[in-house]
Amino acid sequence: MTRKRRLTREEAKAETRRALLDAAAEVFAEHGFHGASIDTVAEAAGYTKGAVYSHFSNKDELYLALLDEHLSSEGPQAIALLESGAPIESFAAEIEARLPEEVEKMRDWGRLTYEFILHAMRNEEVRRRLSDRFERARDEYAATLEKRYAAIGEPPPIEIEKLATALMAFENGMSMMGLVNPELITGGVYSRTLERLLER
């Protein structure tokens, strides 16, 4: 029988952190941010509360770590299409057709995020840390848009960072409305607005 290789200290830490984040995602989805507890996350992951605190100082840290992962894994296909300079109408309608389904798949994450935003608005330190992540996401979006306009050989309709901010606000607002009423984000509202925002 092949003997299982013993994990290094760093590998064991990474494995524990992964288990804690997976458990936090499940506990937050079931109980919400305020309804969840460090004890519940530890129990769901099969670790002690001390193990949680050795990786994350509090629930805020757990959520922000999940947010970092979420932001780093968003839409590689959509990014590639934008950067390629492909005409908006060639893919916007397809994205719109999938939008209600995608919003529904992200329902738990959406509810958690809006709850955390309200929490951050009442805590200056948390608000600042969330704002830093919004700014990084905006800068990454702006870099994608710069590649797009370089590919098509045209200047953006407005300053690139402002355009990235507007697009993020539009897409997040569409998601929020879709969580409440999916019919509000159908019928061309996404594709036509996206075309207006991205074209001069």
What are the pLDDT digits (tens) for 77-121? 778 888 888 888 888 888 888 888 888 888 899 999 999 999 999
At 74, is the pLDDT very low, low, confident or very high (cuts 50, 70, 90)? Answer: low
**b/e burial code for range 26-51 (CB count within 10 A of at least 16 → b):** bbbeeeebeebebebbbebbebeeeb
pTM of the model: 0.85
What is the pLDDT, as a whole number, of residue 161?
Answer: 96
pLDDT of residue 75: 65
Collapsing DSSP to helix, strand or coil, 172 comes out as: helix
Q: What is the mean pLDDT of residues 134-141?
A: 94
Q: Which CATH superfamily is domain 74-198 in?
A: Tetracycline Repressor, domain 2 (1.10.357.10)
Q: What is the pLDDT of residues 30-64, one digit of tens each?
A: 999 999 999 999 999 999 999 999 999 999 999 99
Amino acid at the residue 18: R
Q: Tokens standing for 44?
A: 């769901």
Which superfamily, per CATH, for 8-58?
Homeodomain-like (1.10.10.60)
The predicted pLDDT at position 76 comes to 66
Q: Which residue has the higher pLDDT, 159 or 12?
A: 159
Q: Kindly report the CA angle at 126 between 73 and 172, in degrees rounded to 5?
A: 45
Q: Using one digit for the tens of pLDDT, what is the confidence trace for 173-184?
A: 998 998 999 888
Instruction: Output the pLDDT for position 5.
Output: 67
pLDDT of residue 95: 81
DSSP 1-66: -PPPPPPPHHHHHHHHHHHHHHHHHHHHHHHHHHH--HHHHHHHHTS-HHHHHHH-SSHHHHHHHH
Q: Give the domain ranges of the chain.
A: 8-58, 74-198
Does 1 score more than 60 pLDDT?
no
Q: Assess whether pLDDT exceeds 70 at residue 3.
A: no
Residue pair 112/28 in contact by the 8 Å Cβ criterion: yes
Q: What is the pLDDT of residue 51?
A: 93
DSSP string, 103-142: HHHTHHHHHHHHHHHHHHHT-HHHHHHHHHHHHHHHHHHH
Question: Looking at the chain, how many residues does it have?
Answer: 200
Tell me the C-alpha to C-alpha distance, in Å, between residue 149 and each of 16, 54, 95, 155, 170: 43, 45, 20, 6, 20
Place of tokens 């590919």: 151
Highest mean pLDDT among 87-101, 134-148, 186-200: 134-148
**Tokens 């309608």, residue?**
93
